[in-house]
Chain A
Amino acid sequence: MNPRPTDATERPVQKAASGGPPPLLPLPTSASTSTSAPRESAGRTRQVELRDLNAFYGSHHAVKDVNLSFAPRDVTAIIGPSGCGKSTMVRCINRMHEEIDGARAEGQVLVDGTDLYGAGVDVVAVRRAVGMVFQKPNPFPTMSIRDNVAAGLRFTGAPRGEIDERVIGALKGASLWDEVKDRLDQPGAGLSGGQQQRLCIARALAVEPEVLLMDEPCSALDPVATLKIEELIGELKERVTIVIVTHNMQQAARVADTTVFMLGGELVEVGATHKLFTTPEDERTEQYVTGKFG
């Protein structure tokens, strides 16, 4: 009763074999030498595990008994029809779910064995470790590009002297640096939709999370901007464990190592992406990926 990716331990091998996007180190040396922190975190991306996770909106049971684990340095895509609970499940991982009126979650979310819902866990610390990118780009409208990226660092009280370097590092990490380096002090809301979304990714990266959750990050973007974000995901997985919710099956096929199919709040099937799309085990998965419903 614990569906995990069957070959989680073989992941690195498979990744090398599948070719994928070039495994460039996203940070140029100048940025990563500034502190030892980025390099350190690059080596310790975390294992995330959901155990008997249930989520509710009032009396509506949105996520039902989900058991799942996300391998470190892996991209996991969650697919499924609208309203199947995929966003809700992801929002449970950084405890954003409970911010909605009447919403609650039960069960365990383990990050390297520590239960995020356990007693004494600081919800603020959880969100520093597990970053999130939302469906609609939501840069802070009152802040410049620089301040947007620095926002998370300022919220968490990072040393003042480090902020500039980490902003540059995060912007480079989000492949946005070249486009905005001459206008860091202009408002973040003035960028195009795709740039705004990469700004939001840079903002999430700046606090150096262990896990990055992306809730349909491309659904408001055009194909070119979408492609850029997908390339970026390929680079970022060297540093963080990525969980991406998408309603676009092609996108899941392009970016994910592992794919999870959900239906009606339940987890139906988990497997290596190519396997889930070509030879799914569950009939419902097959119907969904072949476009028979959803």
Chain B
Amino acid sequence: MESGSLSADLLRPPSPRRRRTDKAMRALMWTATGIALVPLVLVLYYTLQKGIGALDAEFFTTDPTGNFLGAQGGVKSAILGTIEIVGFAAVVAVPLGIGVALYLTEYGGKGRLAQAVRFFVDVMTGVPSIVFGLFIYLVLVLAGTGGSTFAGWKGSAALALLMLPIVTRSSEVALQLVPNSLREAALALGAPRWKVVVRVVLPSAASGIVTGALLAVARAAGETAPLLFTATIVKATTFNLNQPMNSLPAQIFQDLKQPNDELVERAWGAAITLIAMILLLTLIAKVIQRRSRAKGAT
């Protein structure tokens, strides 16, 4: 008797109300996903549609000419400038950020200083990028530090300030994921703490740290505001970081304001280039992540 009523319960179809609610909620989630995808697709579509015509060999191999009429040139200086500025910023910010994260996870613990550092890292993550640019403008550009006013390395400094909290945060998360049992195992083998960090903790967290660093680089590569009044916008390619230096975001900013269809198209082309560069970095980060995960699984 009892088992009969149980199987009847199990076999009874769900109430119409439950089925309606289920369908409505599913529809809602699909719609939300669709709406969220619309701008992404449109941005990619318009960027490609408007800028693809600008992409040719000349686009990548010549500097902007600045001529009022005639050939306008490409964006070589901007591409190289972005690589130089962001590269230098990464060289400064990534090791520093990893160092701070190591302090927080391996040495600081729950101490007062560590808590304060954590708090300020969080605050710095939220600071608008233009504030970093302004800060560098006041401290390094107006003061003429290094015998120059606007300079590539000053742009790097602004970007490094921007990247530092991102790298620190992501590295800290990656380091916290390293199981404590590994640290204990190494300590119990008679390893000094710095060797535990170098030989065990860092290799175990490497993929997470690299991913975080690459994402911070990608974020910095797309920043315009901190560069406008630190590295500024110039035409010629330079490999001297103490000179004003061009960059892709700044070039886009400049070109879009011009009453010249060719320049506007060049801006869209530069946007495609920037998207492609960031996409490439993100892909590299994904590959590194996947490869280390596969290694851990076997």
Contacts and interface: CB of A to CB of B under 8 A. Distances in A.
Given A155-B199, A187-B295, A128 B185 contact: no
Contacts of B195: 155
Interface in B173-197: 179, 181-192, 195-196
Interface residues of A, number: 29
Query: By CB atoms of chain B within 10 A, which of A99, A136, A141 has the most?
Result: A141
B187 A204 contact: no
B179 A138 contact: yes
B296 interface: yes
Given A140-B200, A155-B195, A134 B181 contact: yes
A131 B188 contact: yes
Contact of B190 (A138, A187, A189, A207): A207
Contacts of A94: 188
Interface in A189-248: 189-190, 200, 203-204, 207
Interface string A163-206: 00000000000000000000000010110000000001001100
B188 A127 contact: yes
Interface in B199-218: 199-200, 203-204, 206
A99 B189 contact: no
A140 B184 contact: no
Given A136-B181, A155-B195, A155-B199, A141 B296 contact: yes
Contacts of A9: none
Contacts of B192: 124, 155
Nearest to B188: A132
Given A136-B181, A141-B182, A189-B296, A127 B187 contact: yes
A294 B107 CA distance: 38
Contact of A138 (B110, B184, B206): B184
Contacts of A151: 186, 189, 191, 199-200
Contacts of A142: 200, 203-204, 206
Contacts of B95: none
Given A141-B296, A152-B190, A200 B185 contact: yes
Contact of A124 (B183, B184, B191): B191
A99 B184 contact: yes
Contacts of B185: 134, 138-140, 200, 203
Given A134-B184, A141-B204, A127 B190 contact: yes
Contact of B189 (A136, A141, A187, A203): A203
B3 interface: no
Contacts of A101: 109-110
Interface string B105-139: 00001100000000000000000000000000000
Contacts of B200: 140, 142, 151
Contacts of B206: 142
18 contacts: A96-B188, A99-B183, A99-B184, A101-B110, A125-B190, A127-B189, A131-B188, A138-B181, A138-B182, A141-B296, A142-B203, A155-B192, A155-B195, A155-B196, A189-B298, A203-B185, A203-B189, A207-B190
Interface of A: 94, 96, 99, 101, 124-125, 127-128, 131-132, 134, 136, 138-142, 151-152, 154-156, 187, 189-190, 200, 203-204, 207
Given A155-B195, A190-B298, A204-B188, 13 more contacts: A96-B184, A127-B189, A127-B190, A128-B189, A134-B185, A138-B179, A138-B182, A140-B204, A141-B182, A141-B296, A154-B199, A155-B190, A156-B191
9 pairs of A and B residues whose beta carbons are closest in the complex: A128-B190, A155-B191, A152-B189, A132-B188, A138-B181, A142-B203, A127-B190, A138-B185, A155-B195
